[in-house]
Structures are given as structure tokens and as C-alpha cells.
Amino acid sequence: MRINIPETEQKRVVIVGGGFAGLTLARALRRSDYLVVLVDKNNYHQFQPLFYQVATAGLEPSSIVYPLRKMFQRNKNIYIRVTEVKKIEPENKRLITPFGILNYDYLVLAHGADSNYFGNKNIEKHAIPMKSVGEALLLRNRLFIDFENALTTDDPEEKKAYLNIVIVGGGATGVEIAGALAEMKQHVIPKDYAELDVDKVDIHLIQGAPILLKGMSKEASEAALEFLEKLGVKVQLNSRVEDYDGEHLTLKGGAKIAAKKVIWAAGVTGNKIDGLPAEVIDRSNRIEVNEYNQVIGTDNIFAVGDIASMKSEGYKYGHPQVAQVAIQQAKTLAKNLKAISKNRPMTPFIYKDLGSMATVGRRRAVVDLSHLKLQGTFAWLIWLFVHLLQLIGFKNKTFVFINWVWNYLFYDQSLRLIIRTKRERE
């Protein structure tokens, strides 16, 4: 059985994944000579940098997602298929999915990365990751359910476990959610949960490295640490997590933190698809590619974004797994696919580092540009502008802007809802 796609004389490009890389590529090819099939397990694009704001009730989920079909309504050469890819058969130039076979002339893998639990099954089972809007909503539910439970129990130890919040990982995701939770502790919990002693709400940020925001400048790292500590976050550097059983987080050396919830932001690993030779998969489950993003040993399979590992001078382990790399690789690949259709030579990918940034709450952010390093209010304004600009859809940009203004003025966004199905409640 084959997935229903019109058979035409056009060469077919199949893109697996509708994240930053896959979406950018599909948009760049929508007026090309190719027939393009975009495959994703969801029917929408997710704006991952703002997941933490959904998790902390700062934004509605709908304001950071965008329907894929709406984006390509007017493009007759773009087809959307919502399914998962189980296996690649390079020798037959086809993909195996639960709905059947999907043939390709050119295959682009842009299926991204997932949380890395470093082989610890307990942590994988009990910790809360932040890799999808669904997981962000799960965290939002857990936060407010635990506040409600803390009001109900009269056991001091159990109450403490409900109120403790532990974040593992001191990269941008960990730092940003720690800052957002600290502001929630200061401005929301005293109003919504006046019966609780807000001083009993402890936010722990556990980082295995000696610095926060590894990969950014020393100034950014030090400023982020200072901002978090001023907000009351208990930052533990050089601390490694050994286990988490759903009740206690165990650190190397034996120290334990009682916590009903642990937010896992400690690393990523490439999503697996069977069918590629083992020798092109690196230690982080990324796919090794050449300077044209071609999978090593192939001429019609490409990989872009977080899943691609392009080793070059200055990037011996591949490029950083950030949105700008994904977007730039996708744009270069689009040009190269158009060049292939016209029998022209391809252009090698060269990454242009536009800088890094992270926010730690209201008027607190760090920005590293090529020749400029900023911390504080101006950096925060840059962060707001860049992220607003990157959102897809005028409506989303407008709603996010309104929410940000409202939150800035009143600290009282009315999104603190626990939404569960009957099955989840039971």
C-alpha cells in the first residue's frame, strides 16, 4: 500500500519533520519545479523557544503553533502528510510509514532531536521534558496540581515535596524556565495561593558543568547566575544527577532533594529512524553529512538542523543544535536542490553565527553578538524583538505581543488552568 500522493513528472522531494529546518526548506521550495511532501507526526509547526512560557502560564499554546496546511494553502506543489517514518529504504528510494510506502527522488531528514536521559530509565519515566507544546502543557498541569495538593495535605514533608521545583540543565531552556518560575513565585503564588508560605517554594537549578549557558560568553554566564540568584533560585553548579524515582532526586555523592516534579533540560539526542548505515550515526545519534548536507555515502539523501552533524573547522562535533543553524542549512539546501534541477554545481554550507541569547525574566537577559555582549534591560528588549519576529503568522505575533504587554503591566495572565481529561483525573 502506498501513501496517496499524485504521480507526476516532477521530481519528488520528501521532507521529514516540520520544525525550523523542514518548514524553512518547504517554504523555500513552494514555487520550485519539485513536488514536495512534508511529513510530520503533528499537523502544526511548534515554536520551541517559547515552550517555557506556555509551561508557566504566560502564553496560550495556540499562540506558538501554526497549522502546516494553512501555511501552504495556495501552493499546489506542496503536500502535507501527518504520519511517522518507521524506516528508510535507500536502495528502493522509499520510506516505510504506518500508512504505507512513500517514494522519493530526494529525501531530506529534518526530524530533530529529543531529550537525552543518558540511559537512565527512572529519569526518563518520571522527569518532565520540554520538547513539545504537549509536554509544556503537562508541566503547567503538574505545577498547579501540586500547588493544589500542597494546600490539601497536612504532612510537612509531603507539602515540601509538592512545593519543590527542580530543573536539571543550565542551558538556555533551564535558565529561562528557572527565571519564569522564580517570577511566578514572587508575583503569582502569593495572590492565587495566599494560604501557602511562598518561602517554602524552592526552585533548584542543577547544572553538571561549572558554568551556566555553556557556549555563551563568560559575561553572559556570570550575569545569568547573578540574575537567577537575585530571583531566589538555588543554583547548584558542578552537580550531577544520578537518579530520580518520582519522589526524590539523587545527586552524585548521595545528596537528595524531595520533589514531586523534575524538569529535564539536560541534553538532547537525535531522533532515530531505522535504515541508514550505522557508520553515519554519531555518538549523539546525529547523522553525519558533508558540506552540502548530503548524508555521507549517499547522493540523494540530505539531513538538516538538529539531526545533522556537519564536522568542520571550529565545529569538530558538528554545529550547535539551535534554530539559526537549522534555518541557514535549510536555505542553503533549497538553493542546492534548485541548482541540481538545473544541472548546476551545489554551494557548500557556511554557518554565519548571528549570536546567542537567553532571558532570565523581566528586564533580565543576556545577548552575545559577534562584537557586542549585552546584559540587562536592553538585552531583554532585543530578546523580545527577535523572538516576536521569528514567530509565524501575524495573529500569533499580535497575541504574543499583547500577552507580553499584559504580563509586564499586571503580572496576572489568566491562563493558570488545569486541563485534564477524565482518564487523566482518574
Residues annotated as catalytic (active site), given as ranges: 176
Give me the helix-helix angle, 20-28 and 323-341, nearest 10°. 30
- SS3 helix, strand, coil % of the chain, rounded to 5? 35, 25, 40
DSSP assigned state of 322: S
Question: What is the sign of the dihedral through the CA atoms of 5, 7, 9 and 11?
Answer: positive
- Note the Cα 274 to chain centre separation in Å: 23
Own/partner long-range contacts of 272-279 (Cβ < 8 Å, ≥24 apart): 273/16, 273/85, 273/86, 273/87, 273/88, 273/109, 273/111, 274/86, 274/87, 274/88, 275/87, 275/88, 275/89, 275/90, 276/88, 276/90, 276/301
Burial class (CB in 10 A: 0-12, 13-18, 19+), 320: middle
Q: Is 212:225 a contact under the CB 8 Å cutoff?
A: yes
C-alpha cell belonging to residue 126:
518520571
β-sheet with 94-97: strand ranges across:
87-89, 94-97, 100-103
Cα distances from 360 to residues 179, 182, 227, 287, in angstroms, run 5, 9, 7, 33
Q: Is 225:235 a contact under the CB 8 Å cutoff?
A: yes
Give, in degrees to the nearest 5, the angle at Cα 154 between 177 and 424: 55
With H, G, I as helix, E, B as strand and everything else as coil, classify residue 158.
helix
* 263 DSSP β-pair partners: 128, 167
CA atoms within 13 A on the CB side of 289: 29
Q: How far apart are CA 146 and CA 153, in angstroms?
A: 10
Taking alpha carbons only, the member of 15, 7, 29, 131 closest to residue 341 is: 29
The residue written with cell numbers 546567542 in the block is 356
